[in-house]
Structure 1
Amino acid sequence: MTEYREGVPCWVDLDAPDADRACAFYHDLFGWEFTDTGEPGGHYRIATLRGRRVAGVTAVPPEVPSNWITYLAADDADQVAARIRDAGGHLLREPFDVMDAGRAALAKDPAGAVFGLWQGREHGGSGLANESGSFTWNENLSNDPRTARIFYTQIFGYDYDEIPGLDYTVIKVHGAPAGGIGELPSMLPPGAESFWSTYFAVTDTDMAAARVVELGGEVLVPPTDSPYGRLAVVHDDAGAFFCVISAPRG
């Protein structure tokens, strides 16, 4: 991957109360190597796979829950931030420069899902996507999918394809699938907040799920075949929720 259209998921990073522990977990699960950006970069850790950037790890205070954040590409982060405010969203962090890498912001949609904006400069986003060990799908799971769809259309001009029989739509950017918006899964407790979920591609979902458990994580939904591949819902050893998926067999 060398560039991302505006509105397309382009980067993911992990809020981790124990960044060293998180790096060890994902190194053992996906084979990621990590580089610490040092004091100038707030000790943000960049994960690479085969020499290409694929994710980041942010050290957060112990009281902050560990979770994965999806970043949506922005041609101009300040202009997109203004549209977020006008459409009823909330800026958790106003646009800011990340050294020479790019410009970022953190926001919450009107249904409560947190997401990031990334205006790439030196760092254009993930250098790999849809390959084993990199993100392959991102979806907004919402307690108010209709409100979420209206909001993101106002921000990015999304179109949608409905999935028959489900309250789920595929996000289309310039006619190409770029993610999804659907209702919160029933396995979550009442009152759960909306969120953006990340799927990581793997070569073997069963082996990846077993490895998650070996590393101290948990399998929430065991490996299951779907029309889009074999997937499992898991969380890491600090409780961060994500999915793993392998390509459909045959």
Structure 2
Amino acid sequence: MRIDRPALGAPCWVEISTTDPEGSKAFYRETFGWRTEVDPNPEAGGYTLMMLGTDPVAGLGPVQRPGQPTSWTISFAVDDADAATAVRGAGGRLVTEPADVLDLGRFSVAADPSGAVFALWQARGFTGTPLIDEPGALGWVELATRDTAGAKEFYPRVFGWSVTVGEMYTQWGLPGREFGGMADMADQFPADVGPYWMPYFAVADVDTTTERAAVLGATVALPPTDVPDGPRLAVLHDPQGAIFGIHVAGGGSGQ
């Protein structure tokens, strides 16, 4: 699906901070067919756009501090990145204070009360990805947390999301579509694994993409699986350790 501009509160961009930029570029290029465009501006610090044809679908940059693990960060569209009172008032915190990104926009990084990290993006010259739920593009976002009750309070207060609680899964939405969900970590994850947001990328064939990613060095955390009343999906760790999911294109909602 092509969009002109992400709705306020919706996921609008996803980027990876990596310990091995060249290795990550090679892995995702071969896995999703992305090509790379390195920003030539010295102030951009080597930031790279990952492209599908002429459309930007993700960003890539080096980690910013020693010991920082490779990880994906999901950005949500806001009209004012400086309005942190909603995050703080709901019990969250700012990890980085709002800052301008050249003339592209203004962003800040935040954490919910349980510690799951996400970003706020106030668009100027760059609104985010124009593709959603197309093969190779972001299709779904998922919060893994042990505090599901707290998350159901926090995110609607900050972003105005709707919450649809199913028998096995909770979904986040805005008028017109559901775009994400929440998984209860409970006892299914080691105690030292903290809460996190994870992107799912749409693909034409989950099994083929999983096999290709594994050959390229990925670790399969969840093999291709058919979700009841949902899509076929898989979860992987890339060669640098970042977790991400894939699902069949057109099946992003209703996971």
Tell me the TM-score normalised to structure 2 length.
0.92
- 1:94 corresponds in structure 2 to 97
Instruction: Decide whether aligned partners of structure 1 residues 162 and 72 sit closer, same or farther in structure 2, where only a CA change above 3 A counts.
Output: same
The AA in structure 2 aligned to 1:196 is W
Give the drift of 1:82.
2.2
- 1:232 corresponds in structure 2 to 234
Preserved contact between residue 205 and residue 230 of structure 1 (Cα < 8 Å) = yes
Match of residue 56, structure 1, among 33, 51, 59? 59
Bigger drift between 86-95 and 240-249 goes to 240-249
Deviations 1:28-48 (A, max 9, x none): 111111111232212111111
CA distance in structure 1 between the aligned counterparts of 2:146 and 2:179, rounded to whole angstroms? 21
Match of residue 71, structure 1, among 72, 75, 79? 75
CA distance in structure 1 between the aligned counterparts of 2:52 and 2:124, rounded to whole angstroms? 20
The AA in structure 2 aligned to 1:202 is V
The 3-state SS of whatever aligns with 1:65 is: coil
Q: Does 1:85 align with 2:88?
A: yes
CA distance in structure 1 between the aligned counterparts of 2:34 and 2:207, rounded to whole angstroms? 19
The AA in structure 2 aligned to 1:85 is R
Instruction: Decide whether aligned partners of structure 1 residues 236 and 62 sit closer, same or farther in structure 2, where only a CA change above 3 A counts.
Output: farther
Give the drift of 1:51.
0.6
Preserved contact between residue 103 and residue 125 of structure 2 (Cα < 8 Å) = yes
Q: Does 1:107 align with 2:77?
A: no
Give the drift of 1:189.
1.2
The AA in structure 1 aligned to 2:12 is C
Instruction: Decide whether aligned partners of structure 1 residues 20 and 82 sit closer, same or farther in structure 2, where only a CA change above 3 A counts.
Output: same
- 2:4 corresponds in structure 1 to 2
- 1:23 corresponds in structure 2 to 25
CA distance in structure 1 between the aligned counterparts of 2:186 and 2:100, rounded to whole angstroms? 35
Q: Which runs of 5+ in 1 are unaligned?
A: none
CA distance in structure 2 between the aligned counterparts of 1:195 and 1:150, rounded to whole angstroms? 17
Identity in percent? 38
Give the drift of 1:188.
2.4
Q: Which runs of 5+ in 2 are unaligned?
A: none
Deviations 1:116-161 (A, max 9, x none): 0111111111121100000100011111011111111111122211
The 3-state SS of whatever aligns with 2:82 is: helix
CA distance in structure 1 between the aligned counterparts of 2:189 and 2:7, rounded to whole angstroms? 32
- 1:174 corresponds in structure 2 to 175
Bigger drift between 7-16 and 29-38 goes to 29-38
Give the drift of 1:174.
2.3
The AA in structure 1 aligned to 2:85 is A
Instruction: Decide whether aligned partners of structure 1 residues 160 and 76 sit closer, same or farther in structure 2, where only a CA change above 3 A counts.
Output: same
- 2:217 corresponds in structure 1 to 216
Preserved contact between residue 230 and residue 248 of structure 1 (Cα < 8 Å) = no
Deviations 1:198-223 (A, max 9, x none): 10011111111111111111111111
Deviations 1:152-202 (A, max 9, x none): 1111122211111x2x32112125312112312754212321111110011
Size of the alignment, in residue pairs? 246
The 3-state SS of whatever aligns with 1:105 is: strand
Q: Give every structure 1 segment of 4 or more consecutive aligned residues whose post-TM-superposition deviation is greater than 4 Å.
A: none
